[in-house]
Structure 1
Amino acid sequence: MEGRLPYDDFPVVFLPPYESPPAWVPPHERVYHPDYNNELTQFLPRTVVLKKPPGAQLGFNIRGGKASQLGIFISKVIPDSDAHRAGLQEGDQVLSVNDVDFQDIEHSKAVEILKTAREITMRVRYFPYNYQRQKERTVH
């Protein structure tokens, strides 16, 4: 192999001329710029705040936990509930609740925290790929 470069076996590719490239947009302006709108912002973490009166339901169900190794996910949101109006959706991964990390928590502990809290500040992110994998692994 002496004298040969490691990429000698790969074909040469010629790109077509690029006649009119778009104007350069600084990275900090790309999130809301139409030329960069690829809908990835839906996957960014967001904060959801819910207030739960005594005896009221949460308006959503969760599944998963430490046993699945994928986290806690929103598995159902009741239409027209406070959770629905706050923007929770099936496939949201619960990252934290009231500053408690939910990424490696037992299912029963997560349910206990959610049921006993009167005000819930949740950090969630839409993660449908891991939600689907998690559904295949667990029964919760």
Structure 2
Amino acid sequence: MDSRIPYDAYPVVFLPAYENPPAWIPPHERVYHPDYNNELTQFLPRIVTLKKPPGAQLGFNIRGGKASQLGIFISKVIPDSDAHRAGLQEGDQVLAVNDVDFQDIEHSKAVEILKTAREISMRVRFFPYNYHRQKERTV
């Protein structure tokens, strides 16, 4: 009795296109190299809280959404805005806003939530790799 699953019964899996990794930097050169950063805490999720008076602008723009399959990202932060002072930056991925998950949300729904809220508590993380992949797909 052979209990193995026949090869034809396995599902077909499509892998994303191969992306070339960044150039390797020898360990002894990493400390002084401008493209290498050992400080990984910048990539940890953080909470940003903003208060928006009626009729005021958010101070940032977003791009992406469910269609991109990469999430919602901050694409622009207005200098000297509350968003800028709170630490938002281009390349931040919006993980959640007011306890609403933003990782698989339509762009229009994300905009609606952000525009209608008076107090915004955002969980974000700096994720420039996926942000640049998303920009390449949509430009």
State the TM-score, normalized to the length of structure 2.
Answer: 0.72
Is 1:76 paired with 2:65? no
CA shift, 1:72, in A, is: 0.1
- Aligned amino acid, residue 125 of structure 1: R
Distance in 1 of aligned mates of 2:134 and 2:126: 14
Larger Rg: 1
Q: Secondary structure at the match of 1:54?
A: coil
1:43 maps to 43
- Superposed CA offset, 1:101-135 (max 9, x none): 00000000000000000000000000000000011
1:58 maps to 58
Q: Identity, % of aligned pairs?
A: 94
2:9 maps to none
Distance in 2 of aligned mates of 1:102 and 1:136: 21
Distance in 2 of aligned mates of 1:116 and 1:73: 19
Q: Which moved more, 1:129-138 or 1:46-55?
A: 129-138
CA shift, 1:74, in A, is: 0.1
2:91 maps to 91
2:8 maps to none
Q: Secondary structure at the match of 2:57?
A: coil
1:103 maps to 103
Q: Secondary structure at the match of 2:112?
A: helix
Q: Summarize the alignment of residues 117-132 of structure 1 with structure 2, pairs less than 5 Å apart.
A: 117-132=117-132
Moved over 6 A (4+): none
State the TM-score, normalized to the length of structure 1.
Answer: 0.72
CA shift, 1:138, in A, is: 2.6
Number of aligned pairs? 103
- Aligned amino acid, residue 104 of structure 2: D
Query: Unaligned stretches of 5+ in structure 2?
Result: 1-36
Query: Unaligned stretches of 5+ in structure 1?
Result: 1-36
- Aligned amino acid, residue 138 of structure 1: T
1:17 maps to none
Distance in 2 of aligned mates of 1:74 and 1:135: 11
